[in-house]
Amino acid sequence: MSEKEARLGGASSGKVYNYIINEINRRGSLYFILIDPDKPNSNLQKFIRIATDCGVDGFFIGSSLLLSENFEKCVKTVKKNTDKPVIIFPGSIYQISKHADAILFLSVLTSTNTEYIIGQQTLASPIIFKYGIEPISTAYILIESGKMTSATFISQSKPIPRDKPDIAIAYSLTAQYLGMKLIYLEAGSGADNSVPVELIQGIKNFVKIPLIVGGGIKNPETAFEKSKAGADIIVTGNILEDTPEKKIKGLISEFVNAIHQNKR
């Protein structure tokens, strides 16, 4: 095992997790797009194909609320139109599909309600086992973003202050010591402020497992800064939903190029 593989937590028996680790070792940082099944998208097939052709490394699918009945259909559509991993980013136990490649087995460490730390997970476990989906143990850590986001409200979280990296480091070390495979630092969908570079750098100095960073990343320049600071996976969602169709391909390519150039 190489030094970099050791830094990223070593190998795993999971095919998708191994893909993530191998691609991080090869590229330095990865770019995933979050697909919200609650958002209407009549051109989802075309969008997924464009994103795949542009070099996106994978797709997350999930919603904080799931107000529509499109979840299963959304997973199938994304899976059918890409050869990249399709990973569920669940907001509840109702967001599980046997058609996905994997699921982030999230524990919301910043929640004040044990239902989101272990309760929902206990209910979901037998379903995940039955479907044979690859679970990827993930610590979900909410970071203060300047406003109340859906993720914060629904998960009943107490976000970590933006200017308190020591607290974020403590939570991240806890996740690593509990044996989790990924850490997801979340500012929240449509956040005013993304996760600070200084906070990412601070955590990266202490933990070995990969960091996912999402929420409030509105341009390729910001994505570049986060990946350079140590984010192993950058996630965007809202910015692409709000972009005119004719500009989508160019913007996705800019994100891909900005993130992939950070080889560490």
How do residues 164-223 score in pLDDT, each as one tens digit? Answer: 999 999 999 999 999 999 999 999 777 788 999 999 999 999 999 999 999 999 999 999
Domain with 183 in it: 3-260
What does the alpha-carbon distance between residue 28 and residue 21 come to, in Å, rounded to a whole number? Answer: 10
Beta bridge partners of 214: 186, 235
Is 178 exposed, middle or buried (CB count within 10 Å of its CB: 0-12, 13-18, 19+)?
A: exposed
Give per-residue pLDDT as tens, 20-35: 999 999 999 999 999 9
**Single-letter amino acid, residue 183:** I
> What is the CATH classification number for the domain harbouring 129?
3.20.20.390
pLDDT, position 48: 96
pLDDT at 242 over 80: no
Q: What is the per-residue pLDDT for 190?
A: 72
Q: Is the pLDDT of residue 10 over 50?
A: no
Q: Which whole number is the average pLDDT over 230-254?
A: 90
Give the distance from CA 41 to its chain's centroid: 20
The single residue listed with the structure tokens 């679970």 is 135
Into how many domains does the chain fold? 1
pLDDT digits (tens, 9 = 90+) for 105-133: 999 999 999 999 999 999 999 999 999 99
Average pLDDT over residues 220-232: 96
- Inform me whether the pLDDT recorded for 59 exceeds 60: yes
The model's pTM: 0.91
pLDDT at 3 over 70: no
Residue 3, Cβ neighbours under 10 Å: how many?
Answer: 7
